[in-house]
Amino acid sequence: MSDNKIQSLRGMKDIVDDDSVLYSYFIKHASRISSNYGFSYIQTPILEETSLFKRSVGNSSDIVNKEMYQFIDKGSNDVCLRPEGTAGVVRAFIQDKKDRAGKVCKWYYHGSMFRYERPQKGRLRQFHQFGAEVFGLSSVYEDANIIMMLKSIFDFFGIKYTLLLNSLGCSSCMPEYKINLKYHLKDFKDKLCEDCQIRSKTNLIRILDCKNDTCKSLLKDAPTITNNLCSSCDVDFKKLKEILDFNNISYKIDSNLVRGLDYYSKTTFEFISNEIGAQSAIAGGGRYDKLVEFLGGRQTPAIGFAIGIERLLELIKIKENKKDTIYMGVLDEIFLNTLVKIASKKRSNTKVVLEYIPRTHNKHFKLAQKANASIIALLGSNDLEKQTIYIKNLSNNEEKTINIEDF
């Protein structure tokens, strides 16, 4: 019989108990901080046309090439579960003609993403991201602002990280850099790993973040993009570093940080934690000034990031005082109707643990402690007549009987 039990799919997890508490806690505060930074919430469909990701994330990327949950639906449409959030948000931006309105647009989102990867600690096939995208701002101050917003989120949750920073240049300096890199690799081509042999033809710069030791050693003396930026990209990159320095945000320049998605230009960054094992990236992002136009919209500069929620939850400790809970109970069943009514009013702004079974004072106190409540409220004899309720503050042991109205 047990063989027939249906399990969740490999690399997919239920989020329950402590994890679900942490999950909502994270979404609540990350959303609050995002809205303080001027972002509003957007929700896009989980299922999109496959071509959206082929055109944005890139045909030669691992995400599109190897990891898509792709199928033909009943209407013969080629669709897939989103592997990331940016492409859908850009599609929505263009579809809603926001590119034509020419206004700055700032959105945050959260939800499931799907990548058919080899599952391991910190790497799932269905995982969750909290992301944000900004459209219409080309100023490098916005690059700094996005990094500061991530810092505000991580600082709130007390998360330690290392920020890796790079610039991938633009359509004027990147092609030239690729020629230099190709030249550097020309004598070692055969020594590159199998994947990099392919990358050298389809997406040369992805060789830079190959984890294979031989490839890494072949790249030791390779030219770096940060030393090959055109003057405009160079000025912006220097300015970004200056702003971060001014704000005491430390970073490490990693000129091999090319990221696994093809849409980036100029600033790219990753936040890394050394407390969660090999899958150490807790957030990543960068500028993608060409993507809106590439997907058929009007030329619009854009930048964004996404946080991997599962990886982050490993690092969060809840700061909120759990003890803002009220425990409510009755000494006799006849008070239950009134108690339920009061509790429902109270619940519009406070967490209430409601006990339906009539019990003695002592038993109620034990249950209130178990529920981690800070206040206990009991309805007992005489209360209905006088319209009062007994209250005790469990932190300082103050007790009183007050009017139900005042409660």
Residue numbers at the binding site for ligand HAM (CB under 6 A) = 84-86, 115, 117, 123-124, 127, 129, 131, 133, 260-261, 281-286, 304-306, 308, 310-311
Which value, to the nearest 10 degrees, does the dihedral of the CA atoms of residues 269, 274, 277, 279 take? 0
Cα angle at 164 between 158 and 168, to 5 degrees?
145
Q: How far is the CB of 27 from ligand HAM (least distance, A)?
A: 15
Q: Which lies closer to ligand HAM via its Cβ, residue 305 or residue 390?
A: 305
Q: Which residues contact 364 (CB under 8 A, 6 or more apart)?
A: 327, 329, 355, 376, 378
Q: Which lies closer to ligand HAM via its Cβ, residue 264 or residue 327?
A: 264
Q: How far is the CB of 153 from ligand HAM (least distance, A)?
A: 13
Whole-number CA gyration radius for the chain: 27
Q: Which lies closer to ligand HAM via its Cβ, residue 281 or residue 391?
A: 281
Q: How far is the CB of 216 from ligand HAM (least distance, A)?
A: 20
Q: How far is the CB of 242 from ligand HAM (least distance, A)?
A: 23
Q: How far is the CB of 113 from ligand HAM (least distance, A)?
A: 7
Task: Determine the Cα–Cα distance for residues 237 and 143; give it in Å rounded to an integer.
Answer: 10
Element (H, E) at 153: helix 140-156
Q: Which lies closer to ligand HAM via its Cβ, residue 260 or residue 329?
A: 260
For the sheet with 388-393, list strands across it. 351-354, 325-330, 375-379, 388-393, 399-403
Q: Which lies closer to ligand HAM via its Cβ, residue 209 or residue 223?
A: 209
Q: Which lies closer to ligand HAM via its Cβ, residue 123 or residue 239?
A: 123
Task: Determine the Cα–Cα distance for residues 348 and 343; give it in Å rounded to an integer.
Answer: 9
Which value, to the nearest 10 degrees, does the dihedral of the CA atoms of residues 346, 348, 351, 356 take? 50
Task: Determine the Cα–Cα distance for residues 143 and 137; give it in Å rounded to an integer.
Answer: 9
Q: Which residues contact 182 (CB under 8 A, 6 or more apart)?
A: 200, 204
Q: How far is the CB of 360 from ligand HAM (least distance, A)?
A: 50
Q: How far is the CB of 50 from ligand HAM (least distance, A)?
A: 17
* Biggest alpha carbon–alpha carbon distance for the chain: 94
Q: Which lies closer to ligand HAM via its Cβ, residue 124 or residue 330?
A: 124
- Which residue in the shown chain puts its C-beta closest to ligand HAM? 308
Contact by Cβ (8 Å): 394, 373: yes
Q: Which lies closer to ligand HAM via its Cβ, residue 139 or residue 197?
A: 139
Retrieve residue 373's tokens. 């409540």
Q: How far is the CB of 49 from ligand HAM (least distance, A)?
A: 17
